[in-house]
Amino acid sequence: MANAADNRSATGAPQQRPRTRVLVVGPVTAVGGIGQVARMSVGAMDAKRFDIATCDTTKDTPEDRSLATALWSHVRRLGNLIHGIRKHQPDLVHLHTCSYLTFYRTLIDVAVCRCMGRNYVLHIHGGLFDEFLASLRGWKKALVSSALRHAGRVIVLGHCWRTNLMRRVAGMDIAVLPNAIELADEPCKGEAAETLRGVAFVGDLSEPKRPEDLIVAYASLPSPMRKAFPLHMVGGGTPQRKGHLRSLALRLGIEDRVIFHGSLAHERVTKLLRSVDLFVLPSRAEGQPIALMEAMAARAASIVTGVGAIPETVTDGVEARVIAPCNPLQLANAMRDLLPNADKRRSMGHAARLRVENDFATERFARNLAAIWDAEARRNAKRDAVPVPRLATTTFRSIL
């Protein structure tokens, strides 16, 4: 009875537990997978349990920016983080990051958190983080390893990534939190739908995604198959990458069957995935691709490579066809098998939709992330409750 009384206010009403204050740092307004997950880590969370503020790290300067513009952008971003911590006084700072230059910028955020006495969580995205860690030597390796070890929790996208990180850096507290997507309502029967046939690639046109492998594989398909199923390349990239891929299609004589759409709004991408015959993602490195999950939600049959957390997202032959990376011949054979077989594609798309609904919906992501935040908040409370002894008193007692 005494405990029950302690949990009630002077008026007899039950006291509400104070909300955990969280500052989410990431590209919350950016297009792409990391941006979608960063937004989800804000919008999907229970406002009654968490008081969330954001610090947007979306790149707001052009690719060809000057050094002075780049430096000023980083200084302004750092100022926003310091201001956010001072104003919001978060119990926890949630840092969305990936590899190479992005993680070096995150090291500055980590230093700010530690200097200002804030616990932080590192949420690692992208498919190149293991490659990034393997490339580190000397003081760079020491800095990155220290940031990972001092994190309250390191969040990764799949169990394979947990294994990779534990092999590279010891002493981390790692949590596996798969990506998720917000499931859009499916079109009703009879509703007008876009009739865009063919094969679709959705993602940035960077080398790790290997869109060139798809173009080479597509060029080897029989001409009648290419005529019936054009190739749609959806995504942005540097002018050099775009020029390289267009030149490749031209050299292979398929420039009239390869359509480069550039970056599209999310709604248009959803419509495209609902109408195409096949989604292909031939990456050599992945975290856990949001584009694949969106294709699954759209009931699109897929061909993907068995890299990163993809084997934890789909089962070969059930929700998708899983092939080896950097193998255009195997990719071409998989397309030859699936494109003429509408029943097999339909069955695969149905299984993919069920898998997303069961394992990768927003509600499950929010529940698991809330558990991580709650655990970190309790850990912080226990740490703050332990009085820090004075140095002189500690030294005197140790002598005695």
Q: Which residues lie below 8 Å from residue 238, measured CB to CB, with a gap of 6+?
A: 63, 205
Tell me the CATH architecture of domain 199-359: 3-Layer(aba) Sandwich (3.40)
CA distances from 90 to 17, 79, 82, 119, 155 (A): 16, 16, 11, 9, 19
CB 144 within 8 A of CB 107: yes
pLDDT-derived band of residue 295, with 50, 70 and 90 as boundaries? very high
Are 151 and 185 contacting, i.e. CB atoms less than 8 angstroms apart? Answer: no
**Both tokens assigned to 171:** 């002493």
Here the tokens at position 139 are 């003081």
The two three-digit tokens of residue 4, written as one number: 């029950």
The mean per-residue pLDDT over the stretch 63-86 comes to 86
Residue 3 has pLDDT above 50, yes or no: no
CATH number for the region 17-180+361-377 comes to 3.40.50.2000
72: confidence class by pLDDT, cuts 50, 70, 90: confident
Is the distance from CB of 361 to CB of 183 less than 8 angstroms?
yes
pLDDT tens digits for range 18-28: 899 999 999 99
Residue 199 CA to residue 335 CA, distance in Å, equals 9
| Mean pLDDT of the region 165-180 | 95
Q: Give pLDDT, residue 71.
A: 84
| Tokens of residue 327, six digits | 């193998």
* pLDDT tens sequence across 117-159: 999 999 999 999 999 999 999 999 999 999 999 999 999 999 9
- Which band of pLDDT confidence, cut at 50, 70 and 90, is reported for residue 31? confident
pLDDT interval class at 316 (50, 70, 90)? very high
Q: What is the mean pLDDT of residues 264-270?
A: 92
Query: In angstroms, what CA-CA distances link 41 with 22, 126, 209, 379, 388?
Result: 10, 17, 25, 20, 33
In the predicted structure, residue 223 carries a pLDDT above the cut 80: yes
pLDDT band at 60 (very low <50, low <70, confident <90, very high): confident
Instruction: Provide the pLDDT for residue 157.
Output: 97
Average pLDDT over residues 306-311: 97
pLDDT band at 377 (very low <50, low <70, confident <90, very high): confident
Q: Judge whether residue 187 has pLDDT over 80.
A: no
Tokens of 190: 């009879």
pLDDT at 399 over 80: no
Query: Model pTM greater than 0.85?
Result: yes
Domain residue extents for the chain: 17-180+361-377, 199-359
Check residue 384 and give its pLDDT.
Answer: 60
Edge-to-edge strand order for the sheet containing 321-323?
Answer: 258-262, 231-234, 199-202, 278-281, 302-305, 321-323
Among candidates 199, 209, 198, 200, which has minimal Cα distance to 289?
Answer: 209
Q: How far apart are CA 135 and CA 133, in angstroms?
A: 5
Is it true that 17-180+361-377 and 199-359 share their CATH fold?
yes
pLDDT score of 397:
42
